[in-house]
Amino acid sequence: MAEVNISAEVRTEFGKGAARRTRRANLVPAVVYGHGGDPVHVTLPAHQLMMALKTQNVLINLDVDGKSQLVIPKAVQRDAIRRFVKHIDLLIVRKGEKVTVDVAVKTEGELAPGSGLLEHLLNSLPVETEATQIPTEVIVSIEGLTPGDSILAKDVKLPSGTTLAIDPEAIVLQVVAPQVEAEATDEAGATA
Protein backbone atom coordinates (compact mmCIF):
# COMPACT_ATOMS: atom_id res chain seq x y z
CA MET A 1 0.00 0.00 0.00
CA ALA A 2 1.37 3.40 -0.94
CA GLU A 3 1.71 6.15 1.59
CA VAL A 4 0.23 9.59 0.97
CA ASN A 5 2.25 12.57 2.22
CA ILE A 6 0.29 15.45 3.76
CA SER A 7 1.63 18.46 5.66
CA ALA A 8 -0.35 19.65 8.67
CA GLU A 9 -0.29 22.77 10.81
CA VAL A 10 -0.91 22.79 14.55
CA ARG A 11 -4.29 24.34 15.38
CA THR A 12 -4.59 26.79 18.28
CA GLU A 13 -8.21 27.95 17.85
CA PHE A 14 -11.04 25.69 18.91
CA GLY A 15 -14.84 25.73 18.81
CA LYS A 16 -17.54 26.04 16.18
CA GLY A 17 -16.53 29.49 14.93
CA ALA A 18 -12.87 28.55 14.59
CA ALA A 19 -13.80 25.34 12.73
CA ARG A 20 -15.94 27.33 10.28
CA ARG A 21 -13.08 29.79 9.65
CA THR A 22 -10.74 26.86 9.10
CA ARG A 23 -13.10 25.28 6.55
CA ARG A 24 -13.54 28.61 4.71
CA ALA A 25 -9.74 28.69 4.34
CA ASN A 26 -9.99 25.31 2.53
CA LEU A 27 -8.58 23.42 5.51
CA VAL A 28 -10.01 20.56 7.57
CA PRO A 29 -9.76 20.45 11.38
CA ALA A 30 -8.30 17.18 12.64
CA VAL A 31 -7.11 15.44 15.80
CA VAL A 32 -4.08 13.14 15.84
CA TYR A 33 -3.94 10.68 18.75
CA GLY A 34 -2.60 7.33 19.82
CA HIS A 35 0.19 5.49 21.62
CA GLY A 36 -0.58 7.16 24.95
CA GLY A 37 0.45 10.65 23.84
CA ASP A 38 -1.61 13.80 24.17
CA PRO A 39 -3.95 14.49 21.24
CA VAL A 40 -2.60 17.04 18.76
CA HIS A 41 -5.09 19.36 17.04
CA VAL A 42 -4.09 20.14 13.45
CA THR A 43 -5.46 21.46 10.17
CA LEU A 44 -5.04 19.63 6.87
CA PRO A 45 -5.39 20.84 3.26
CA ALA A 46 -8.94 19.91 2.23
CA HIS A 47 -8.20 18.88 -1.36
CA GLN A 48 -5.19 16.69 -0.48
CA LEU A 49 -7.18 15.01 2.29
CA MET A 50 -10.18 14.42 0.02
CA MET A 51 -7.94 12.79 -2.62
CA ALA A 52 -6.24 10.62 0.02
CA LEU A 53 -9.60 9.43 1.40
CA LYS A 54 -10.62 8.09 -2.01
CA THR A 55 -8.44 5.07 -1.12
CA GLN A 56 -10.05 2.96 1.58
CA ASN A 57 -7.82 2.51 4.68
CA VAL A 58 -5.22 4.94 3.32
CA LEU A 59 -1.91 5.22 5.17
CA ILE A 60 -0.95 8.87 5.58
CA ASN A 61 2.57 10.10 6.26
CA LEU A 62 1.69 13.24 8.23
CA ASP A 63 4.28 16.02 8.59
CA VAL A 64 3.56 18.14 11.69
CA ASP A 65 6.15 20.82 12.46
CA GLY A 66 8.90 18.82 10.78
CA LYS A 67 8.03 15.57 12.60
CA SER A 68 6.73 12.75 10.43
CA GLN A 69 4.11 10.29 11.73
CA LEU A 70 2.22 7.45 10.08
CA VAL A 71 -1.54 7.74 10.65
CA ILE A 72 -4.73 6.09 9.43
CA PRO A 73 -8.20 7.68 9.36
CA LYS A 74 -10.22 6.49 12.34
CA ALA A 75 -13.37 8.64 12.13
CA VAL A 76 -14.41 10.93 9.27
CA GLN A 77 -17.25 13.41 9.71
CA ARG A 78 -18.81 14.60 6.44
CA ASP A 79 -21.38 17.24 5.62
CA ALA A 80 -24.76 15.52 5.18
CA ILE A 81 -25.63 17.33 1.95
CA ARG A 82 -22.42 18.30 0.16
CA ARG A 83 -20.32 15.39 1.55
CA PHE A 84 -17.18 17.48 2.18
CA VAL A 85 -15.01 16.45 5.13
CA LYS A 86 -15.90 18.51 8.23
CA HIS A 87 -13.51 16.84 10.69
CA ILE A 88 -11.26 13.81 10.86
CA ASP A 89 -9.67 11.77 13.64
CA LEU A 90 -6.31 10.25 12.77
CA LEU A 91 -4.78 7.32 14.66
CA ILE A 92 -0.99 7.10 14.95
CA VAL A 93 0.39 3.74 13.83
CA ARG A 94 3.88 2.28 13.62
CA LYS A 95 5.44 -0.11 11.14
CA GLY A 96 4.96 -3.67 12.34
CA GLU A 97 1.96 -2.73 14.50
CA LYS A 98 -1.31 -4.64 14.00
CA VAL A 99 -4.49 -2.63 13.35
CA THR A 100 -8.12 -3.67 12.86
CA VAL A 101 -9.76 -2.22 9.75
CA ASP A 102 -12.66 -2.96 7.41
CA VAL A 103 -11.65 -4.16 3.93
CA ALA A 104 -14.05 -4.00 0.97
CA VAL A 105 -15.41 -7.31 -0.39
CA LYS A 106 -15.41 -7.55 -4.22
CA THR A 107 -16.76 -10.44 -6.27
CA GLU A 108 -15.55 -12.06 -9.46
CA GLY A 109 -17.07 -14.72 -11.70
CA GLU A 110 -20.62 -15.64 -12.68
CA LEU A 111 -23.38 -17.44 -10.81
CA ALA A 112 -24.69 -20.68 -12.32
CA PRO A 113 -27.10 -19.88 -15.19
CA GLY A 114 -30.60 -19.04 -13.91
CA SER A 115 -29.51 -19.64 -10.34
CA GLY A 116 -30.84 -16.63 -8.50
CA LEU A 117 -29.67 -13.44 -6.87
CA LEU A 118 -26.43 -12.72 -5.05
CA GLU A 119 -27.00 -11.13 -1.65
CA HIS A 120 -24.15 -9.26 0.07
CA LEU A 121 -24.60 -9.62 3.82
CA LEU A 122 -21.21 -7.99 4.47
CA ASN A 123 -19.90 -5.33 2.08
CA SER A 124 -16.68 -5.13 4.08
CA LEU A 125 -14.80 -7.60 6.23
CA PRO A 126 -13.16 -6.64 9.55
CA VAL A 127 -9.57 -7.87 9.53
CA GLU A 128 -6.45 -7.48 11.62
CA THR A 129 -3.31 -6.68 9.65
CA GLU A 130 0.03 -4.92 9.83
CA ALA A 131 -0.41 -1.13 9.57
CA THR A 132 1.75 -0.72 6.47
CA GLN A 133 0.30 -3.76 4.66
CA ILE A 134 -3.45 -2.99 4.75
CA PRO A 135 -5.17 -4.63 1.75
CA THR A 136 -7.46 -2.37 -0.27
CA GLU A 137 -9.94 -5.18 -0.96
CA VAL A 138 -10.50 -8.93 -0.85
CA ILE A 139 -11.71 -10.79 -3.93
CA VAL A 140 -14.31 -13.56 -3.57
CA SER A 141 -15.09 -15.95 -6.43
CA ILE A 142 -18.80 -16.60 -6.95
CA GLU A 143 -18.24 -18.83 -9.99
CA GLY A 144 -20.98 -21.47 -10.35
CA LEU A 145 -22.79 -20.77 -7.07
CA THR A 146 -26.44 -21.89 -6.94
CA PRO A 147 -29.38 -20.99 -4.64
CA GLY A 148 -28.67 -22.00 -1.08
CA ASP A 149 -24.89 -21.63 -1.47
CA SER A 150 -23.13 -19.18 0.80
CA ILE A 151 -19.61 -17.99 1.43
CA LEU A 152 -18.51 -17.72 5.04
CA ALA A 153 -15.86 -15.36 6.40
CA LYS A 154 -13.49 -18.30 6.91
CA ASP A 155 -13.81 -19.15 3.18
CA VAL A 156 -12.48 -15.75 2.05
CA LYS A 157 -8.84 -15.92 0.97
CA LEU A 158 -6.90 -13.24 2.85
CA PRO A 159 -3.44 -11.88 2.02
CA SER A 160 -0.57 -13.25 4.13
CA GLY A 161 -0.25 -11.58 7.52
CA THR A 162 -3.96 -10.73 7.59
CA THR A 163 -6.42 -12.47 9.93
CA LEU A 164 -10.17 -12.25 10.44
CA ALA A 165 -11.49 -9.96 13.17
CA ILE A 166 -14.99 -11.41 12.91
CA ASP A 167 -16.68 -14.74 13.65
CA PRO A 168 -15.33 -17.18 11.01
CA GLU A 169 -18.86 -18.59 10.60
CA ALA A 170 -20.35 -15.19 9.62
CA ILE A 171 -22.00 -15.27 6.19
CA VAL A 172 -20.43 -12.81 3.75
CA LEU A 173 -22.37 -13.67 0.56
CA GLN A 174 -25.28 -15.96 -0.22
CA VAL A 175 -27.28 -16.91 -3.28
CA VAL A 176 -31.05 -16.75 -2.93
CA ALA A 177 -33.65 -18.16 -5.29
CA PRO A 178 -35.52 -15.55 -7.32
CA GLN A 179 -38.97 -14.68 -6.02
CA VAL A 180 -41.62 -15.54 -8.59
CA GLU A 181 -44.92 -13.77 -8.17
CA ALA A 182 -47.77 -16.15 -8.59
CA GLU A 183 -50.27 -14.77 -11.03
CA ALA A 184 -53.60 -14.31 -9.37
CA THR A 185 -56.01 -16.56 -11.21
CA ASP A 186 -59.56 -15.49 -10.83
CA GLU A 187 -62.03 -18.14 -12.00
CA ALA A 188 -64.53 -15.46 -12.87
CA GLY A 189 -61.83 -13.21 -14.29
CA ALA A 190 -62.52 -13.94 -17.93
CA THR A 191 -63.53 -10.80 -19.75
CA ALA A 192 -66.77 -10.89 -21.64
Asked if 177 and 147 count as a contact pair (C-beta separation under 8 A), the reply is yes
Q: Residue 88 maps to which CATH number? A: 2.40.240.10
Strand positions, DSSP E, 11-123:
27-34, 37-45, 59-64, 67-78, 85-93, 98-108, 117-120
Please compute, for residue 133, the number of CA atoms within 13 A of its CA located in the half-sphere on the CB side.
Answer: 14
- Residue 41, domain member (yes or no): yes
Whether the CB-CB separation of 43 and 53 falls below 8 Å is answered with no
> Would you say residue 191 lies in a domain?
no
Q: Closest Cα to residue 59, out of 133, 129, 127?
A: 133
Mean pLDDT for the chain overall = 83
Q: Is residue 160 part of a domain?
A: yes
Residues 80 and 105 in one domain: no
Using one digit for the tens of pLDDT, what is the confidence trace for 140-153? 988 888 888 889 99
CA 67, 70, 73, 74 torsion: positive or negative?
A: negative
68-94 mean pLDDT = 85
Question: What pLDDT does 191 receive?
Answer: 54
Q: Do the domain assignments include residue 103? A: yes
Q: Please identify, among 93, 116, 142, the residue that sits at the C-terminal boundary of a domain.
A: 93
The reply to whether 105 falls in a domain is: yes
Q: Are residues 70 and 140 in the same domain?
A: no
List, in sequence order, every residue forming a beta bridge with 37; answer none if it has no partner: 34
Lowest-confidence pick of 64-78, 87-101, 130-144, 173-187: 173-187
Same domain for 86 and 106?
no
Number of domains in the chain: 2
Range of the domain at 10: 3-93
Are both 130 and 72 inside the same structural domain?
Answer: no
Are residues 81 and 141 both part of a single domain? no
- 64 and 103 in a single domain? The answer is no
In a domain, 120, yes or no: yes
Question: Residue 118, class by beta-carbon neighbours within 10 Å (0-12 exposed, 13-18 middle, 19+ buried)?
Answer: middle
Question: Which of 13, 44, 20 is CA-nearest to residue 30?
Answer: 44
Within this chain, do residues 80 and 125 fall inside the same structural domain, yes or no? Answer: no
Q: Are residues 7 and 87 in the same domain?
A: yes
CB 40 within 8 A of CB 8: no
Residue 24 sits in the same domain as residue 54: yes
Same domain for 74 and 107, yes or no, is no
Q: CA–CA separation, 50 vs 26, rounded Å?
A: 11
pLDDT at 25: 87
Do 10 and 76 lie in one domain? The reply is yes
Domain end point (choices 63, 93, 123): 93
Evaluate whether residue 182 is within a structural domain: no
Residue 18 lies in a domain: yes
pLDDT band of residue 2 (cuts 50, 70, 90) is low
Which residues, 6+ apart, have CB-to-CB distance to 48 below 8 Å?
4, 6
* CATH code of residue 144: 2.170.120.20
In this structure, the answer to whether residues 129 and 165 fall within a common structural domain is yes
